[in-house]
Amino acid sequence: MDFDVIFIGSGHANWHAAVTLKQAGKKVAIVEKDMVGGTCTNYGCDAKIALDGPFQLVEQLNRFKGNGVKETPAINWPELMAYKHQMIDPLAPSMDGLFGQMGITMLKGSGVITDAHTVMVAGETYKTDYIVIGTGQRPATLDIEGKEYVHDSREFLDIPDMPKRLTFIGSGVIAMEFAAMAATMGREVHIVEFADRALGAFPKTYVDRLQAKLEQQGVVFHFNEAVTAVTKTEGGLTVTTKNGLNIETDYVLGATGRIANVENIGLENVGIDASRRGIKVNDHLQTSVASIFASGDVIDKTQPKLTPTATFESNYIADVILGNDQPISYPAIPSVVFTMPRISQVGVSVATATANPDEYRTQVVPFGKQLAFEFKLALGAEATLVFDKTGYLVGASVYADDADDLINLITMIINGHFTQRQLNQQIFAFPSATSGVIDLLRSLLPKD
C-alpha cells in the first residue's frame, strides 16, 4: 500500500484525523483540489467571524449612547475587508506547510475513488487501506433566468465594498448574518423567502425579535415569495418573484441552502449511494464499503452540519482506524446565528418541549434585565431553558450578544448532566456575564 489512509478534502472533517493518525505513526495523504483548510477556514465561518468584531462593537456602543458614549464609529468596509485578508489569507499556506513538516503528503487535484482501496489524483493512482471522504458542501444555485447575476456566500465574503442596495434570496443563517451587517451600515436590504418565516430551525420567539430589530434598521422581509428572475437594468438589477414583486437592487445573494459535494469523486465506482443531502453512513461513519468512511457536511445526517460536528467526527474516525470499535455517540451540539444580537440553541428545542408538555417544561430567564450591567445594557437578552421530567437541563435557546459563549457553558451543563451540587463545586470569575447566568440557573437544576 502507498498509504494507510487517504483523505479526500482538507477541511475540519478530515485534517484532525489526518494529524492524529500521522502522530500515531500512520502514512497519511490528503487530497485537495481547492484551498488547504477547506470552506470554514478560507471562505466560511472563520472569514465571517473576522468581519464580525466591529459590528458587535458598534452594536454595543449604540446602547451606551447617553451612558458615557457620545459618538458611534462607522464601519469602513474596504478597511475591514483588508483586515480580513490579512487574517485569513495566510491560513491555507500555513496549514499546507504545517502538514508538510509533519510528513503528511499533500496531493493537489481532484480525488476519484476507483475501488475500495484506490484513489486517482491528477492521473496517478494511490493504494491505501482506508479512504475518508470529507468533501463538504457547496451553495445551492437557483435555476432561474439571470442566475449568473446571483452571488454566493464565498463571493460576498470577498466584495471590495458594501453595495448600496442588497437583496438576499433565502432567510437562513447565512442570509440573516450578512443582512445584519449590511443593515448596520445603513444599506437598503431586502430578504425574499419562499417560506412564511425566517430561520425555521430556530425558536420563533427569538427570530421574531431579531426580525423586528432588522426591520427597525430598514430591512424589508418578503415571505411566501419565489424568485423567478434576476434581470440587469440601467440602474442595477431587478429581482422578480412569481407573485409579481419587483425589487430594484445592486447585489443579489443566493442563500437557499447547501448541497453535499458527492459528484465526480467516484462513488459510483464502488456502489456508494448518495444524494444532494449527502452520503449515508453507519454508526461507525462507514459507507456501504467498509474501508471507506465519510466525515463532516458530506454525510446525510440529522445532526447539525457545523464545523464542530465535523471535527468531532474526524476525531472519532481516527479512533476507529486506531482500533476503537464503539459506535459514535453524539453529544448535544450547539448552533449559533451570528447576528446582532445572536441566537443560539442546543439540545431539545423549545418547539419540541412545547409540543410535549408531559415530557418537558420550559423556563424563561430574562437575564438581560436582571444582569443589566454585566450584559452591557442588553436588556432584551434572554434564555429559554428546557428541562426533562426528572428536572435535568436538556435544551436551551439564547437571545443575546453573548449567546455564542453562553450556549457553550450551557452545553457543558447539559452533556455533563449537572446538578446543583456539581455546579456548587465550581467557582466562576465575578463580575462576569457567565457567573450571573450561572447564579440564575443554579436553583433550577435538580439538587442531586
Does the annotation place 111 within a ligand binding site?
yes
Does the annotation place 176 within a ligand binding site?
yes
**One-character DSSP codes across 136-174:** -EEE----SBTGGGEE-HHHHTT-SS--SEEEEE--SHH
What would the grid cell of residue 429 be? 470569575
> What DSSP character marks residue 296?
G
Burial 57-93 (b: 16+ CB within 10 A, else e): ebbbbebeeeeeeeeeeebebeebbeebeeebeebbe
Does the annotation place 173 within a ligand binding site?
yes
Does the annotation place 28 within a ligand binding site?
no
Does the annotation place 193 within a ligand binding site?
yes
Does the annotation place 179 within a ligand binding site?
no
Does the annotation place 134 within a ligand binding site?
no
CA 241 to chain centre: 28
d(CA 156, CA 358): 46
Does the annotation place 170 within a ligand binding site?
yes
CB–CB of 89/60 below 8 Å?
A: no
Does the annotation place 174 within a ligand binding site?
yes
Those residues with Cβ within 8 angstroms of residue 49's Cβ, 6 or more apart along the chain or in another chain:
338
**One-character DSSP codes across 173-241:** HHHHHHHHHHHHTT-EEEEE-SSSSS-TTS-HHHHHHHHHHHHHTT-EEE-S--EEEEEEETTEEEEEE
d(CA 185, CA 164): 9
The binding site for NAD(+) consists of 170-177, 193, 257
The binding site for FAD consists of 111, 297
The binding site consists of 111, 170-177, 193, 257, 297
